């Protein structure tokens, strides 16, 4: 098992620290935190270019995700950029893959999951799919919050319900950056050992949105596959924010490589 104290490879992209765990290391780390039971809630960010871009534009959000205990690169962009920075990360670790691998582990270890986010229909379908694909994985609850800003009292009530469920891991599917802000805001009062923001993974695992084949994702075209599947939802992010992110990230990588080259030349 990978110990939580083991140092993972990491790269800093547009000011955000991105870790480089493999899928197995990610699940091992979750298990280590759960088994430790020290009363702390560990937060996990799982995002690609979108989270990095939001962090580039919003220093407060960047500090928030830099404060997470683990940042898993969901897309291929952080992997390519880490190579340009001279600090290559092993590969992408998509949220849907993390969830599936953990639920498989939970069938034998008994780790209990709670699901927070998305719609009632998505959660109901997700529960049926988990029961079918991972029949031995315990689920202690699921909650779809209202699609509006919640009061602190409402959030406190939701947190209390999650804590009372006895869950070992909290999966949050509110979308980026909303889910990362929710976890950071409530981390201090969550007693669940691990809280993970996984975005669209609820719908992927529920079978409501088709995932791109692995080779498409590894080639860097999962965004195009998803854009074709959900154009109304993703066109603005992918077609307007995407090019701006690429330009900023390449300029950042160039500055890093130039600085490293100058430092190397002085030796």
36-64 pLDDT per residue, tens: 989 899 999 999 989 999 999 999 999 99
Phi-psi region at 100: left, alpha or beta (left = phi > 0; alpha = psi -120 to 50): alpha
pLDDT at 209: 76
What Rg do the C-alpha atoms of the chain give, in angstroms? 18
Where are any strands of DSSP class E within the chain?
A: 10-13, 16-19, 42-47, 70-73, 113-117, 139-143, 169-173, 194-197
Token pair of 252 as six digits: 């950042």
179-208 pLDDT per residue, tens: 999 999 999 999 999 999 998 899 989 988
* Integer CA distances (angstroms), 42 to 7, 34, 49, 160, in order: 16, 9, 22, 17
**Rounded-to-integer distance, Cα 11 and Cα 88, Å:** 8
pLDDT at 216: 57
**Rounded-to-integer distance, Cα 113 and Cα 137, Å:** 8
Lowest mean pLDDT among 13-22, 120-129, 205-214, 258-267: 258-267
**Rounded-to-integer distance, Cα 15 and Cα 204, Å:** 30
Q: How many residues does the chain have?
A: 267
Q: Is the predicted pLDDT of residue 264 greater than 80, yes or no? A: no
């Amino acid at each position: 098992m990978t110990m939580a104290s083991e140092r993972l490879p990491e790269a800093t992209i547009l000011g955000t620290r991105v870790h480089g765990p493999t899928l197995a290391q990610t699940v091992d780390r979750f298990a280590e935190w759960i088994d430790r039971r020290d009363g702390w809630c560990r937060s996990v960010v799982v995002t690609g270019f979108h989270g990095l871009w939001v962090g580039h534009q919003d220093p407060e959000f960047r500090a928030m995700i830099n404060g997470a205990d683990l940042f898993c690169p969901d897309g291929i962009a952080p992997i390519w950029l880490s190579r340009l920075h001279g600090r290559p990360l092993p590969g992408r670790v998509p949220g849907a893959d993390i969830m599936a691998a953990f639920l498989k582990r939970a069938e034998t270890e008994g780790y209990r999951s709670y699901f927070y986010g998305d719609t009632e229909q998505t959660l109901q379908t997700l529960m049926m799919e988990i029961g079918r694909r991972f029949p031995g994985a315990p689920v202690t609850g699921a909650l779809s919050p209202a699609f509006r800003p919640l009061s602190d009292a409402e959030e406190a009530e939701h947190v209390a319900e999650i804590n009372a469920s006895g869950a070992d891991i909290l999966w949050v599917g509110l979308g980026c950056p909303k889910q990362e802000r929710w976890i950071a805001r409530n981390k201090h009062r969550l007693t669940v050992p691990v809280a993970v923001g996984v975005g669209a993974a609820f719908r992927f695992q529920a079978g409501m949105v088709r995932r791109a084949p692995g080779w498409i994702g590894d080639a860097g075209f999962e965004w195009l596959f998803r854009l074709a599947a959900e154009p109304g939802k993703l066109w603005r992010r992918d077609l307007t924010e995407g090019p701006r992110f690429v330009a900023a990230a390449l300029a950042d990588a160039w500055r890093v490589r130039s600085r490293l080259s100058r430092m190397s030349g002085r030796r």
